[in-house]
Amino acid sequence: MTPTPTPNPDPNPNPDPNPDPNPNPNYRWKPWMQTISDFAIDPKTNFQMDYSSIIVPTDQSVCYANLVGRLLDGKKHVLAVGPTGTGKTVTVSQKLSQGLSDAFEPIMMSFSAQTSANQTQAS
């Protein structure tokens, strides 16, 4: 009995979510930080007044912002969960305020443990 050859599976079954516009035979994944422009703090920044509003991008925040944008573009719901202080609110807020197409009009609402349904409906 001779073995029956099986077709080779697709060598890249998972398309790149962050494709290079100029692919080449030596194609490699790009690190997330290479997908954004270099970060620089404006020399006119008043650190006494503006320190808490400076958002320094990290590879994780760039990745999550990209993921949020792609999910929203695909009309999918997004729920960001994780430990306190990991940048969920900052990343999502920044993406909603600066990185979406004109098809979206973000409305920001803040909640706390003391927020009631009546307070939400009154806003």
Is 121 buried (19+), middle (13-18) or exposed (0-12) by CB count in 10 A?
Answer: exposed
Gap between the Cα atoms of 68 and 79, Å rounded: 9
pLDDT at position 14, please?
56
pLDDT band at residue 101 under the 50/70/90 scheme: confident
Task: Name the percent of the chain lying above pLDDT 70.
Answer: 77
Range of the domain at 83: 58-107
Q: Residue 95: inside a domain, yes or no?
A: yes
Q: Residue 76: inside a domain, yes or no?
A: yes
Q: Residue 84: inside a domain, yes or no?
A: yes
Q: Residue 116: inside a domain, yes or no?
A: no
Gap between the Cα atoms of 12 and 28, Å rounded: 12
Q: Residue 38: inside a domain, yes or no?
A: no
21-61 tens-digit pLDDT: 666 666 677 889 998 889 888 888 888 777 777 888 899 99
Question: What is the mean pLDDT of the segment spanning 4-15?
Answer: 55
Is 16 buried (19+), middle (13-18) or exposed (0-12) by CB count in 10 A?
Answer: exposed
Number of domains in the chain: 1
pTM equals 0.64
